Amino acid sequence: MSIDLSKAANPPAWLEKQPIPPTCLLCGAPTEYIGVWKRSGRRLVTVYGLCRSCARRADEQIDRIERVIAAELARLN
């Protein structure tokens, strides 16, 4: 599940405490939009960044976004 909170007028307090990723998760360009990903049934929340171009196509690329996040989490564990 992915939620875009970039344009939220008042982001949740817990989100303000998270570090903002400097680059796009998919292409490495500077982050312009922030997304939050949560795996069903788990408490782990991952904050990720997307550039404007990738954000426009995010709905079409959700499977790729989830694979990249899962691979990054596996690498960290």
Q: Where are the domains of the chain?
A: 2-76
pLDDT of residue 30 exceeding 70: yes
Q: What is the pLDDT of residue 41?
A: 67
Q: With the CA atoms of 15, 10, 64 and 26 taken in that order, what torsion angle do they form, in degrees rounded to the nearest 10? A: -80
Q: Are 38 and 45 in contact (CB under 8 A)?
A: yes
pLDDT in tens, 36-73: 887 766 667 788 999 999 999 988 988 999 899 889 88
pLDDT in tens, 46-55: 889 999 999 9
Q: Where are the beta strands (DSSP E) in the chain?
A: 2-4, 33-38, 45-50
Q: What is the pLDDT of residue 1?
A: 46
- Percent of the chain at pLDDT > 90 equals 27
